[in-house]
């Protein structure tokens, strides 16, 4: 894709923000809106005030891709404080037997969802170090898993009690903490752009096309784009090429021949069926860009 001028790129971008401690996720969104002088802005997953790390913020038109960014797996590093010291081996054994794989978790009191038991998946929970009652850990979990509650449940299972002392989100899907930007860096990048230097801001902004590599792609003929932008469904004969193994009712990205995202749609059939449908509509348009 040809390089887009920055004034056009900003409203079609997301930013990987390194959220600082002491700010809510909404505080960060307000600050981003202020820096860029935007009307619309949103984040894709709340972090507590005292938790730092990866927070994905979508700007203007890019807020339309938020639904496909919200269910991504998360990774964290933190410190769990045990109310009573125990042997490292017992701690590892308890976590391995009770807290890896599918678990049942009731959201904490301060959460914004119904406090009903629900199933979540913990892919890993590794102990990085232990200093008496302080346990440094790294964990990868399914979206919607509460780490504070996970620490509390581990303490309850051990019979010692435990609480989350520190937490940093290091990864959301393909978004890495190493590639995140502080609010000061983002502000500096914007100000240097206003002074004629683009380099820093191009490093901060991630175009929506690059923000959704996990979303399967469907490429359509350029002469059909105007119809799609008006909400017309995609027909099989309008498709140039598409990713394999698209499932029925799966959200897909609809792209032009020059790799520009023009819409998000919902597949009516799997990819094999789409090919065989001749000229029938195979993708319903959900939102356009």
Tell me, what CATH number does 164's domain have? 3.30.70.3190
**Encoding tokens for residue 82?**
């045990």
Q: Among candidates 281, 264, 289, which has minimal Cα distance to 67?
A: 264
CA distance 165 to 154: 14
Sequence length of the chain is: 289
Are both 98 and 151 inside the same structural domain? yes
Task: Write down which residue in 111, 144, 169 finishes a domain.
Answer: 169
d(CA 191, CA 280): 50
User: Does residue 67 sit in the same domain as residue 101?
Assistant: no
| pTM listed for this prediction | 0.91
Low-confidence ranges of the chain (pLDDT < 50): 1
Pair (83, 134) in one structural domain: yes
Name the active-site residue from 18, 37, 48, 222: 48
Distance from C-alpha of 181 to C-alpha of 19, rounded to nearest angstrom: 9
Same domain membership, residue 148 and residue 221 = no
Co-location of 63 and 78 in the same domain: no
Residue 193 domain-assigned (yes or no): yes
1 located within any domain: no
How much is the pLDDT for 4?
A: 78
Q: According to the model, what pLDDT value does residue 1 have?
A: 45
> Based on the domain organization, do 205 and 245 belong to the same domain?
no
Read off the tokens for 130: 């232990």
Burial class (CB in 10 A: 0-12, 13-18, 19+), 155: buried
Helix (H) or strand (E) holding 32: helix 25-36
Please give the pLDDT value at position 45. 86
Looking at the structure of the chain, the number of domains it has is: 3
Residue 61 a catalytic site member = no
The dihedrals phi and psi of 132, each to the nearest 5 degrees, come to 55, -110
- Residue ranges making up the domain that contains 153: 74-169
Residues 281 and 223 in one domain: yes
Residue 194 inside a domain? The answer is yes
């Amino acid at each position: 894709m040809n390089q887009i001028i920055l004034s056009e790129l900003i409203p079609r971008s997301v930013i990987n923000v390194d959220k600082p401690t002491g700010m809510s996720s909404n505080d960060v969104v307000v600050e981003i809106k202020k820096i860029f002088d935007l009307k619309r802005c949103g984040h894709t997953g709340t972090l507590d005030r005292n938790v730092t790390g990866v927070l994905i913020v979508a700007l203007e038109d890019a807020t339309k891709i938020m639904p496909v960014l919200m269910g991504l797996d998360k990774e964290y590093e933190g410190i769990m404080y045990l109310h009573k010291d125990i042997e490292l081996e017992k701690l590892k054994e308890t976590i391995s037997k009770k807290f890896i794989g599918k678990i049942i978790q009731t959201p904490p009191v301060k959460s914004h969802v119904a406090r009903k038991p629900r199933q979540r998946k913990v892919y890993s929970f590794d102990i990085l170090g232990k200093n008496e009652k302080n346990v440094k850990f790294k964990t990868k979990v399914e979206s919607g898993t509460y780490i504070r509650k996970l620490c509390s449940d581990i303490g309850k299972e051990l019979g010692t009690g435990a609480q989350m002392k520190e937490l940093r989100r290091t990864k959301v899907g393909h978004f890495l903490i190493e590639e995140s930007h502080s609010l000061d860096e983002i502000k500096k990048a914007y100000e240097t752009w206003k002074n004629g230097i683009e380099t820093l801001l191009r490093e901060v902004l991630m175009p929506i096309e690059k923000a959704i590599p996990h979303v399967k792609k469907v490429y359509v003929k350029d002469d059909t784009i105007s119809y799609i932008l008006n909400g017309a469904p995609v027909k099989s004969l309008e498709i140039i090429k598409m990713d394999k193994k698209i499932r029925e009712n799966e959200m897909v990205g609809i792209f032009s021949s020059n790799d520009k995202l023009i819409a998000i749609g919902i597949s009516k059939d799997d990819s094999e069926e789409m090919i065989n449908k001749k000229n029938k509509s195979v993708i319903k348009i959900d939102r356009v860009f």
